[in-house]
Amino acid sequence: MSDAIERPPGFTYRSDLKRQSRLCCEQLPVERLAERFGTPLYVYSARAIRERVRAFDHAFKDIEHTICYSVKANSNLAVLRLLGELGCGFDVVSGGELARVLAVRRAEKVVFSGVGKAAQEMEAAVRAKILLFNVESASELRVLEACAARLKSTASVALRVNPDVPADTHPYISTGLEKHKFGVPVCEARELYARAARSPHLRVAGISVHIGSQITNPTPFSAASQRVAEIVGELRRDGHTILYVDVGGGLGIPYQQQREEFSHLVRAYAEAVIAPLQGLGVKLLVEPGRSIVGPAGALLTRVLYRKANGGKKFIVVDAAMNDLIRPALYQAEHEIVPVEMARRAPEIVDIVGPVCESGDFFARARSLPAVAEGELLAILDAGAYGMALASNYNSRARPAEVMVEGKTAKLIRRRETIAELIRLERAN
């Protein structure tokens, strides 16, 4: 068994009494979970989440900081509760995400990001007394001020500045250039800060930046942090109090191999971010999502059929693009492994789902040990942007979700039913 296809401490192969090697989540064979809860099935490791949060805290120990978990990566209430118990705050981008956080935690460590906050969402956040609004436009600043005035309250704000720093990532998740919809240009930031400072219902409290997601090279983070440090100096000279620097998230994970210790990756990231900010006396807000929950989750799926069109082989599974859209949307290459590892000759196959789209695939021309109909496969690194992006396309019910802790499995979201899908509709 190659270490490259394991994700310790969450997902490793263990030998059973028959000396067969089976994939386990912590101490539970995932085959047992599939039998109990059915497939497709999302499985998460609580221990993996804990270890990654601790790695972040250790990496940033030399600066006052709060880890504000990016809720959009995985918004299950049990995941949020676990992260809250570990001391995390939360980064939300919608009123719905705020409501999820408030269902398990108070809002004093919540930051509200996003380019299109609606007035009713802002009012809910003001009422909840969140830590900080990351404001992304002059118009948004005006609406937030009006919301706070109606509620006879004060909202703490940071402007999300666009540092025009390129990041080597998928164009759909690159956010730090002037051509992107996010943030305000640096040249406009000082005037907007002055406008905010004049309002009795807004409190200037920080500055925010986020250059994109799935970034594994620390250099862009360093460049963005350096630019932010320069702006902090300018704003303080203008008389503004800058307490917080929100450096966003974006630290990526290696989907195809996990050979480097995560602690090394996050340490290099932290060093790149912290170095330009040393001596400024700010509190750092860090917004990891994928890097905490991605490798902590897997999607289990059962092989329905084997088929061949000419010389091309297909493995048809019961999961589909509605369950995990990343391969279709981002051309993401998740590692896919048999749950039962035996010595079998590899074959080149496409792994596809039942949805009526040619884009419904998990892997193309992938080398995989030969698997038979009825066997289980695990799609690894699916803890982030898996269930969070799931849909009901083709009127398919979304999967169940399970959290594993040692030898215990807890159902944290039951499988939808078709009756629930049509409950809100009317035929006449």
Can you tell me the distance from the alpha carbon of 202 to that of 195, in angstroms, rounded to the nearest whole number?
9
**Residues marked as catalytic:** 356
pLDDT at 84 over 90: yes
- For the chain, the domain total comes to 2
Cβ count near 259 (within 10 Å): 8
pLDDT at 92 over 50: yes
Same domain as 272, residue 196: yes
Weakest mean pLDDT among 22-26, 218-222, 239-243, 333-337: 218-222
| pLDDT of the residue at 11 | 96
| 269 is a domain residue | yes
Dump pLDDT digits (tens) for 199-208. 999 999 999 9
User: Residue 28 is which amino acid?
Assistant: L
Token pair 């918004």: residue: 75
User: Residue 193 is which amino acid?
Assistant: Y
| 84 is a domain residue | yes
pLDDT at 395 over 70: yes
Same domain as 132, residue 235: yes
User: Domain end: 262, 289, 316, which one?
Assistant: 289
Q: Are 161 and 184 in contact (CB under 8 A)?
A: yes
pLDDT at 168 over 60: no
Mean pLDDT of the region 237-266:
88
| 182 is a domain residue | yes
User: Domain end: 289, 312, 330, which one?
Assistant: 289
Can you tell me the distance from the alpha carbon of 111 to that of 109, in angstroms, rounded to the nearest whole number?
7
Query: Whole domain around residue 370: which residue ranges?
Result: 3-38+296-422
Q: Are 23 and 13 in contact (CB under 8 A)?
A: yes
User: Domain end: 289, 320, 351, which one?
Assistant: 289
Can you tell me the distance from the alpha carbon of 244 to that of 44, in angstroms, rounded to the nearest whole number?
32
Mean of per-residue pLDDT scores for the chain: 92
How many CA atoms lie less than 13 Å away from 93 in the CB half-sphere? Answer: 15
Same domain as 315, residue 172: no
DSSP 279-339: TS-PEEEE---HHHHSTTEEEEEEEEEEEEETTEEEEEES--TTT--HHHHH-----EEES
| 428 is a domain residue | no
Can you tell me the distance from the alpha carbon of 68 to that of 115, in angstroms, rounded to the nearest whole number?
18
Cβ count near 419 (within 10 Å): 8
pLDDT at 166 over 60: no
Same domain as 199, residue 78: yes
Weakest mean pLDDT among 136-145, 215-224, 419-428: 215-224
pTM (2 decimals)? 0.93
pLDDT grade for 211, boundaries at 50, 70 and 90: confident
| pLDDT of the residue at 176 | 39
| pLDDT of the residue at 160 | 94
Domain containing 236 — which CATH number? 3.20.20.10
Same domain as 302, residue 278: no
pLDDT at 180 over 90: no
Token pair 């935690």: residue: 105
| pLDDT of the residue at 182 | 62
Domain containing 402 — which CATH number? 2.40.37.10
Greater confidence (155 vs 211) lies with 155
CA distances from 109 to 49, 61, 157, 382 (A): 19, 18, 14, 26
Can you tell me the distance from the alpha carbon of 283 to that of 68, in angstroms, rounded to the nearest whole number?
12
Same domain as 101, residue 19: no
pLDDT grade for 135, boundaries at 50, 70 and 90: very high
